[in-house]
Amino acid sequence: MINFTERYSDFSKWLSAIGSDPTGGMTRLLYTDEWLAAQNGLKEKFQKAGFEAKFDEVGNLFGRVEGSKYPNETILSGSHIDTVVNGGNLDGQYGIEAAFLAIQYLKEKHGQPLRSMEVVSLAEEEGSRFPYVFWGSKNIVGIAKNADVMNIQDKKETKFVDAMRKAGFDFRDEKKPMRDDIKAFIEIHIEQGNVLEMEKKQIGVVNAIVGQRRYNIILKGQANHAGTTPMGYRKDTVYGFSKICYESINKAKAVGDPLVLTFGRVEPKPNTVNVVPGYTLFTMDCRHTDKAALVAFTTEIEEDMKRIAKELGLEIEIDRWMDEDPIPMDKKLVETFEAICKRDNYNYRVMHSGAGHDSQIFAPKVPTAMLFVPSIKGISHNPAEATKLEDLAEGIKVFAEAFYELAYKD
């Protein structure tokens, strides 16, 4: 097995330059010029390595090495090319790099596999530009609905459809069935937490992904003069938000792990020093490994929010725009990853993922599993996102071994 350090460093340096932010982070949003440049650049890299490279209708990019004996059985791997705003250069990107480098190495050393191997650079996962997530993977498995994105737009009021078509892509035919050749989907990712680092482990074998519920919530009161409106007569939406935030987070802390709750975005209007804010939009993100517990907790919080709004004389609109179930990984694939780690003496542990990943979209349709490598200080979605180079290289080695087991053995 080669040392992947140099190959990874060169490839990552090249790809990380596309969409790099002057502050040191990465911004590569769906269907932007930066996103398109990255996808086209990857297509050229795939082709130069001898892969068959092509886009699907919506902009997912595939690099394929055909199998000799079972060409219609494909081991698919990859991750998403889009980023959050001013994020890091590992989230999503590392999974594409690792899959490509692993397949390239196996092709060089062992020649044509028995089963087809394919790397995918997925169009979108984050939901950072438009209020929709997993556009790439949902289209591959045939569950994306064109109607869900037909009328959505980004913060600059650019419509999803217009951005997609400007980038040269369009909707998938909803009557077209999903691919039936995918025998397995495997994904490698940075942990985005600090469990592996704290426990001094190099590899995480993921056995489940948490369920998530995400909300856009609007409070409507009355904007009024900050000096002439007595406290008792105010309909202050920031005050309403603060009560909701305080009560909800206290309840989440009381429940404890693995439940997590976040209020990540708050936009009061008119958002000026001398006016009582009459309108506030805020977001809520709640996650748990158990579906029933997730539903019970968020249902209680929704009722709490309605009660608080009523007590303060405010109107409230609650839009739960994301509702993803917890997803278990395929038992046999998890066992395959574990067997490799045990055989080659990798320092690993089995764990769940607290973040959402494209694997949760593939898993209900095809056998799916994930690997994690450590995140330094658990930081992600941040320019400071980092992983030790030796850990990134070790992850690719395990991944290459998994590809060999799945694609080269009868």
Which residues contribute to the annotated binding site for Zn(2+)? Answer: 80, 91, 126, 189, 381
* 368-373/182-190 β-pairing: parallel
Tell me the binding residues. Answer: 80, 91, 126, 189, 214, 274, 287, 381
The residue ranges of DSSP E strands in 165-307, in sequence order, are: 182-190, 203-209, 211-220, 224-225, 260-262, 266-269, 275-276, 279-288
Provide the residue count of the chain.
410
What kind and span of H or E run contains 367?
none
The letter for the amino acid at 252 is A
The two structure tokens encoding residue 369: 């599993």
Q: What are phi and psi of 362, to 5 degrees?
A: -75, -35
Coil, strand or helix: which one is 170?
coil
Rounded-to-integer distance, Cα 22 and Cα 19, Å: 10
Q: Backbone phi, then psi, for 147, in 5-degree steps?
A: -65, -25
DSSP category for residue 264: -
**Rounded Cα gap, residues 92 and 120, in angstroms:** 11
* CA nearest neighbour of 32 among 142, 169, 152, 172: 169
Rounded distance, CA 300 to CA 251, Å? 10
Locus of tokens 């574990």? 338
Cis bond before residue 270 (omega within 30° of 0): yes
The rounded distance, in Å, linking the Cα atoms of 15 and 96 is 10
CB 301 within 8 A of CB 286: yes
Give residue for tokens 């979605």.
381
78 and 96 Cβ atoms separated by less than 8 Å: yes
Residues whose CB is less than 8 angstroms from the CB of residue 290 and which lie 6 or more positions away in sequence, other chains included: 211, 326
CA–chain centroid gap for 261, Å, is 17
* Contacts for 273 with CB less than 8 Å, ≥ 6 apart: 226
